[in-house]
Each structure stands twice: as structure tokens, then as C-alpha cells.
Amino acid sequence: MSLLFLLTACGGGPQPHDGQHSTDPTGTCPTGEVLDGETCVPEACGVGTWGDLPVDGDTVYVAAGGTGDGTVEQPLGSIQAALDLAGEQGGGLVAVAAGRYLETLSMGKDHDGVTLAGRCRELVTIDGSEGEEVPAVEVVGENGRRPEVQIQGVTVTGGRYVGVWVQEAAVVVDGVDVAENTHSGVVAAEADVVLTGVGVFDTRPDGRGDFGRGIDVEAGATDDAPPGWAELLRRGFGVDGWACPDGGKRMRLRTVGVGSPASATIVTGLLPSTGPPAPRRGGDDQGVHAGA
């Protein structure tokens, strides 16, 4: 049986201007933002083309419109090409500069040890809307080879069939928004998946009007997840359960663990908590779904 845990929280977000502070000595930007050239950007984005990414001599670089070979001076223009190059090198960091990248990404057994890292989710978007009817981002193992991959600091959108699909792989997704995809936001099938600091929202149903789920856990999980609390609020009272009380901001999915060892790690951290109430049998779910 697979276990899945979710923690939500309201992000701090930029606050009204309050004068000088460490990230912006000039006092130009709101709290929580930093001055990058002449533009205020979220503090998580850092300053410069690559922000605060932990780049090194083996990093493969990507920038919108790039035509080079993946070096910092001559970055590639395709994230997929960079992932493939990093895989050939035995893993490592793929650093992605700000931009909207119109491509779908596929990683498999040859991408073990690769980390896809955007500068930050606010500035880096992977858009699969112009591709085929496939996941915007997929990580799929085969023949018993389960690649270990990390995805961080990007927004995944426009997937014509799922935003992020993980199957027979071990994937950590950190600081990512999965928004406006079709069928499901995130699908985990026979996989170990940890989502941390992730927002999954505005998933659309497919052409038949089915699904539209946020997170779908398949193959080995139990189909006993009731409708999520946010969906129940929407159905019963027309209330947006993901809205923060500070006016307009959205709650983000902070942590999700699927499978072992992710589940065991989270369970250990929760002890001696009594945990959430036992789930009841339920039908199709617009939020988190655990399928047989």
C-alpha cells in the first residue's frame, strides 16, 4: 500500500514597501523581493541570470533563445537537449534561466542523477501546450531501472495529458507550480515521489469531461480518498478553500510523500502525532486521488 501525506500553508509573499532591507539596500522593492538590475523579483529568484542555483563546472546551462553547446557562455536553448547532455555526463545540474520554454520533457533510465533546476518558478515556465497529447514533464523508468531525478524552481503548465507524470522512478519535486494542465496535475504510478513547496491547481478535465484531478496516485495505492476539503467547500458553499485569509493569495501544497522511503520518513517525523482521521470510501476526486 502506498501512503500519501499533504501539508498546506499560506506563503509569506511580498508585503507593502517598508523601506530598506538586506535584499534591497536601496529600499526600492517590497519585502520578500530583491532588485535584479532595474526589476524587482521574488527573493527566491536571486540576482543574475542563474540566480542562486548551485552551479559548478559540470553544470549544463539553458537560456531562452540559446544556440550554444550548454556552457555558461553559450547556453542551450532547449531544456530537453540539456537534460540529455547531463544524462550522457552521468548526471548533474541543468540550470535554466528565466523564460517560457515551449516544449515537453521526457526523462528515463538514462537521466539518473539529473537535477532540473530553474532559476525560480515565478520566472521559468515549461509550457507543453503546443506539443503532442503527452505529459508536459515525464520521468519513466523501465526494465527495473528506476531513475532518481530532481525537479525544482519551475512552473509546469499546458500539459495536454498530465502536468508531471512519474512512473517506476524516484523523483523529488521542490518549489514547483503545476498549473492549468489537462487530466491530472501530478500522476505517480509505481513511484517514490516527494513534493515539497509545490502548488497544484487549476487542472482541467479531459475532452470527455473526466478527471481534472490535482494529484493522482495509481498502481498499488488504495482507492479510498474522499473528496478533498477544498472541493467540499467549493461544492457546498461556493468558497475557495485554497484562498489565504490575507486577501487574494493562494495556499500552496507544502509537502507530499508517496511510497517508500518517502512515506516512512514523513511518518517518523510526525510521531507521536495521532495523525489525521481515517479516510472514508469516496468516488472520483478533483483533488488528491489514490487509485487501485
Asked if pLDDT for residue 104 goes beyond 90, the answer is yes
Do 221 and 292 form a contact (C-beta atoms < 8 A)?
Answer: yes
pTM reported for the whole predicted model = 0.72
Buried b / exposed e across 207-231, counting CB within 10 Å, b at 16+? eeeebbbbbbbbebbeeebebbebb
Q: Which residues contact 273 (CB under 8 A, 6 or more apart)?
A: none
pLDDT of residue 161: 93
Q: Residue 253: pLDDT above 60? A: no
pLDDT of residue 236: 74
The CA distance from 95 to 232, in Å, is: 40
Q: Which residue has the higher pLDDT, 142 or 127?
A: 127
Q: Find the helix or strand (DSSP H, E) in which 231 lies.
A: helix 229-237
The pLDDT value recorded for residue 263 is 53
Q: Is the peptide bond before 226 cis (omega within 30 degrees of 0)?
A: no
Reply yes or no on whether the pLDDT at 8 is more than 70. Answer: no
Range of 4-13, 16-25, 37-46, 213-222 with top mean pLDDT: 37-46
